[in-house]
Amino acid sequence: MKTELQDQDASPPTDNRATQRLAAVEAALYVAGRPLDLKTLASIAGTRSKNLARKLASTLKEAYAQRNTSLEILELPDERFVMQLKPEYSPKVQRLSMRPLLTIGPLKTLSYIAYRQPVAQKQVLQVRGNHVYSHLKQLEEMGLIRRDLANRRRILRTTEFFADYFGFSHELRVMKRQMKKTLFQDVENPTLDL
């Protein structure tokens, strides 16, 4: 008798194998700290089946939803899953986390680039000031932005790592909508003055 989560093309499955696969996917989501795609989850689960990886991640998502814990698993666009702290617990434990990823200056520069991308480096410099050069260097070293050369102009864009780290879609239009919704969820007439 096969369980719903067992891969049909694999060696004879057991309930123990399905449990091990669930545990492997859970461990991957916990350790990654960022969204993982189905190909990665399938690899961690020891299968090539994206359908099985989706079933495993969805099973974990449902299990976490039924528990009364501070963690949740979300399914994001582009067939990605992420384990994260529920928003209502963030203020309670924020002080325990390590120093922030970015200070306010580079974060504002990153926000401007992400929302206006693709954007000329010259425009970012005009809006954010001369100190932006150190921000750009830091953001590039962290893998959050990239600089492309087009017609002797530097064009700035965010990377896939940026989208994964902040839980946004890789598709630019969807990402901008998600950012707008996140930034202005409590504001009636949103404007972006970074």
**pLDDT at res. 2:** 45
Mention every residue, 6+ apart, whose C-beta is less than 8 A from residue 167. 34, 35, 74, 76, 82, 84
pLDDT of residue 27: 93
**CA-CA distance, 39 to 54, in Å (whole number)?**
10
d(CA 54, CA 113): 33
For 16-78, what is the HEC assignment? HHHHHHHHHHHHHHHHHCCCEEHHHHHHHHCCCCHHHHHHHHHHHHHHHHHCCCCEEEEEECC
Structural domains of the chain, ranges and CATH numbers in brackets: 15-93 (1.10.10.10), 104-183 (1.10.10.10)
Residues paired with 73 in a beta bridge: 83
Is the model's pTM score more than 0.85?
no
| Residue entry with tokens 């009364």 | 68
pLDDT at 1: 42
In the chain, which residues have pLDDT < 50? 1-4, 6-13, 186-187, 190, 194
Q: Given this model, what pLDDT does residue 57 score?
A: 95
